[in-house]
A and B are shown apart, each in its own frame.
Chain A
Amino acid sequence: MRMLSELEDGEGMDSVLRTLARDLDVLLGGDRVITDPVRLRTYECDGLTNHRATPGIVVLPDSAEQVAGVVRECVRAGVPYVARGSGTGLSGGALPRTDGVLIVTSRMRRILEIDIPNQRAVVEPGVINLDVTRAVRADGYYFAPDPSSQQICSVGGNVAENSGGAHCLKYGFTAHHVLACEVVTPDGEIVELAADGPGYDLLGVFVGAEGTLGITTKITVRLTRVPQTVQTLLAAFESIEAGGRAVSAIIGAGVVPAAIEMMDALSIEAAEAAVNCAYPPGAGAVLIVELDGPEPEVAAQFADVERLCRDAGAFEIRIAADDAERALIWKGRKSAFAAVGRISPAYIVQDGVIPRTALPQVLARIDALSAESGVRVANVFHAGDGNLHPLVLFDDAEPGAAERAEEVSGAILDLCIEHGGSITGEHGVGVDKARYMPRMFTEADLDTMQMVRCGFDPGGLCNPGKVFPTPRLCGEVPGVRKGPHPFEGKADLF
């Protein structure tokens, strides 16, 4: 097997890829292998556009057997490969390798089976998230994970990233809605991993491994019963602190809302500029609270939520009377990321998590960071689970501004870690945050996680360079193994 380092040096790379492209063309046939530089360029990044790399080869397989064949060819040639769904990821998890193959699942878009009596569906990895829901809605079901990109992101990508969304507060993440995956392992075998089968829960670690443990080719998803009713309110507060008090009061009262979202003044300003959402004027923060479930249950709790918001200082509360009004309430929130483009030439979308109770302290520290650095930060968050999406604004035409924004963005992650949180709640680590992993985990922690990777992918060709800042050499065996042990005659060491 050719060593990766050799390829990175560029030595003989072209001929290796050229030969591989020919072999893949023979294997796949049709127009399933792309080597034209112009067409390759369209795959150079995912949703995180500041990381770019033109893939060496792109393939568009349309079956598990073809994916397995491609993986086997890559292994034979010693060439790294990366899987890509719709390319909407926000951490560069699907960033291609210039010296490798990008395996795109966009031709694997069949919904293979809908099984309402068992509340599940079987889909190919390229199927769009929302298309699952569309296919089962008439039966009273939906696919619960709802990342903001759900109109275009793929279920395979959801599996790789363990995608969440606004409603995962109540309904959980993709990991909780995937019952089984057919997987092409890094040695090109096709295996079935199931949540409830005998043996290790390999599915549990596969989901969310960001495509570093193999490529899923068939996914059995759990379908969730559409709730009997949904109630949504928008509450306006003078300050983020007051909004935060309302969140704590709602959670403290034992309510589990379907979603609780908060926006600060700057993100409201952006949303107004972009979509005229007409949120209450003068609001320092707005809170969106959504409850769903059986009618009598929701009715009782919704009254409590409204009261708790008023008690916390809400100066205006709007209750959606129907789906159209609900959509209007959500419009500002859902457009918030793109909307900051209206108030800033460029911005970084950060994704960090803190314990919900640390919200006031962390927001105060972000304010201070912003004031000290002169870098504006708009805050949008899934307040119910402490998932912050600070939008760090800067002018990319101004020298040094991007670096300053990057610094503030990184400092926010440090704040999250300091308060016992996480460097990512839903966007993933990818290439973007691999360097932050040692701030959250010890070397031993990362080493242990990579034992799983070594078990799946000892050759290190499956989406290398993602998640972990430094790869583990899989030949290395941890711990004391052979030869004389350190206790020989000196147990007093302990």
Chain B
Amino acid sequence: MATSAKALDALAAVCGDVRPGEPEEGVLGVEPALVAAPSSVDEAAGVMRVAAALGLAVVPRGGETRLDWGAPPARCDLLVDTRRLDALLEHTSGDLVVSAQAGMPMERLAEVLAERGQRLALDVPLPGSTVGGTIATAAAGPLRTLYGTPRNLVIGLTIVRADGQVARSGGKVVKNVAGYDLGRLFCGSFGTLGLIVEATFRLHPVPAARAWVTRDVDGPKQAYEAVQAVLHSPVAASAVEYIGPGKVAVLLEGVPDGLSLRARTTAGLLGGDAEIGGDPPAGWGRYPDGTTLIDVTAPPTALPDLLATAGTAVTWNGDGHGHVGLPAGSPPDVAVRLLGALRDVLGAHRGGAVVRYAPEDVREAVDAWGPVPALALMRRVKDQFDPDHRLSPGRFVGGIR
């Protein structure tokens, strides 16, 4: 690797905002030697070319809401900050499509879209997160029940490769099967395959009316029955959530005329003292409290086992996906045991558990990713995109470099 001063000069020649890293900018404690904030795709490509030429290990950074997810990078010579790459490129409302640069905050995008009665149907569990970070971490919230995760909504992606080459896949039409869908591949790739610089999404109309129907449940069995009643009914819920310690909440969206009847039907299906309201219940769309966050894949029939194993700091979505929190100060062996127990019970349902973030002592004690099917194939794909192992090395599954 070249000296920092030389690298800084070379980067400054291609990018208007380059500086040495600060100690507080460490990625899980790994301090970046340099930080570059390109303001255009050209600048981003220039930065990546320089990084390639100088052999710099690169970690992308968006809104810093999930920079503490995953494992610390094995090296971090250069943090590529996308905050200046934040333009709205095109919103063709008649086509229900929007293109934005990676650094655009999700909330700002939502505001722009709402002006024309549209939305990107992805929740933002962590305020301040960006378009690029949302894709890189495959982040989603309650709406995933109906709309899925970023993989379902990204229709075009522009990336800068490890060698600085700009590449696009997909396009700006929703229906398109020309070529490989790299958009889906990059969802949840944690900055290890390339730098995401622009994305195009399909949009949906903002519903005219919304209602939440909630019911307090007593124990895993009741939670399961309430969830099953709604999932198999034709009320067409936008979201079905379990929110620990004991609430099932259903989001309905649509036209005002239809909504009240659907809400009453849903209340009947949930049973108990189900309530209908115009505001989300406490905890809606947030990760459970704690300093350790475990992401679980748990199909609907796994819900009782999940709740029986995980305790109270749990949220779960009808899409078969949830989160478990562990309080600050939990001893590492408690985390190890919980993770093992979750993998045991969820494995029987073809589910699994992955640690997203944790304090250092817990992180060092656990196997964060658990078993990863097809890991060898993943390594081969990674080697193609990043033959020199410079993109977020060590951050992702199996310590992939």
Which A residues have a C-beta under 8 Å from some C-beta of B? 115-120, 140, 161-162, 164, 168, 172-173, 175-176, 180, 185, 189, 191-202, 204-205, 207-209, 225-228, 248, 251-252, 254-256, 293-301, 353-357, 382, 385-387, 420-429, 433, 437, 440-442, 444-449, 451-456, 458, 467, 474, 477-481, 485-487, 491-492, 494
Contact = CB atoms under 8 A, between A and B. Distances in A.
Nearest to A436: B178
A449 B377 contact: no
B127 interface: no
B52 A385 contact: no
Given A118-B320, A175-B184, A485-B53, A201 B173 contact: no
A449 B177 contact: no
A173 B202 CA distance: 13
Contacts of B97: 355
A304 to B, nearest CB: 9
B373 interface: yes
Contacts of A449: 167, 169, 179-180, 182
Q: Which of B46, B182, B206, B350 has the most CB of A within 10 A?
A: B350
Contact of B10 (A118, A208, A478, A487): A487
Nearest to A254: B205
Nearest to B207: A254
Given A201-B188, A226-B234, A424-B176, A478 B387 contact: yes
Contacts of B378: 199-200, 202
Contact of B262 (A297, A452, A467, A480): A297
Nearest to B187: A201
Contacts of A485: 53-55
A294 B252 CA distance: 11
B372 A420 contact: no
Contact of A442 (B168, B185, B189, B300): B168
B352 A198 contact: yes
A46 to B, nearest CB: 15
Contacts of A387: 175
A386 B10 CA distance: 46
A455 B177 contact: no
Contacts of A118: 299-301, 320
Interface in B85-111: 92-97
A295 B254 CA distance: 12
Contacts of A120: 299
Contacts of A248: 94
Contact of B172 (A208, A252, A355): A355
Contacts of A487: 2, 10, 50, 53-54
B181 to A, nearest CB: 6
Contact of A225 (B151, B179, B232): B232
B240 to A, nearest CB: 11
B48 to A, nearest CB: 9
B398 interface: yes
Contacts of B138: 201
A359 to B, nearest CB: 10
12 contacts: A194-B373, A196-B320, A200-B381, A201-B188, A296-B259, A299-B258, A353-B173, A355-B97, A425-B176, A481-B387, A487-B10, A491-B6
Nearest to B97: A355
Nearest to A425: B175
A117 B301 contact: yes
A294 B181 contact: no
Contact of B92 (A194, A357, A441, A452): A357
Q: How large is the interface on B (under 10, 10 to 19, 20 to 34, 35 or more residues)?
A: 35 or more
A474 to B, nearest CB: 8
Contact of A168 (B175, B179, B181, B373): B175
Nearest to A484: B53
A6 B181 CA distance: 32
B375 A199 contact: yes
Contact of A426 (B96, B177, B384): B177
A445 to B, nearest CB: 5
B173 A448 contact: no
Given A118-B320, A161-B177, A486-B53, A477 B373 contact: no
The 4 closest A-B pairs by CB, nearest first: A479-B163, A204-B184, A296-B258, A254-B205
B263 to A, nearest CB: 10
B374 A355 contact: no
Q: Which of B168, B174, B321, B396 has the most CB of A within 10 A?
A: B174
A487 B14 CA distance: 13
B89 to A, nearest CB: 12
B384 A454 contact: yes
Nearest to B265: A294
B176 A422 contact: yes
Contacts of B350: 180
Q: Which of A209, A254, A293, A458 has the most CB of B within 10 A?
A: A254
Contacts of A478: 161-163, 165, 387
A228 to B, nearest CB: 4
Given A140-B232, A254-B205, A385-B173, A452 B384 contact: yes
A294 B236 contact: yes
Contact of B232 (A116, A189, A194, A494): A116
B178 A429 contact: yes
A296 B258 CA distance: 4
Given A192-B374, A201-B188, A294 B165 contact: no
Contacts of A445: 167-169, 179
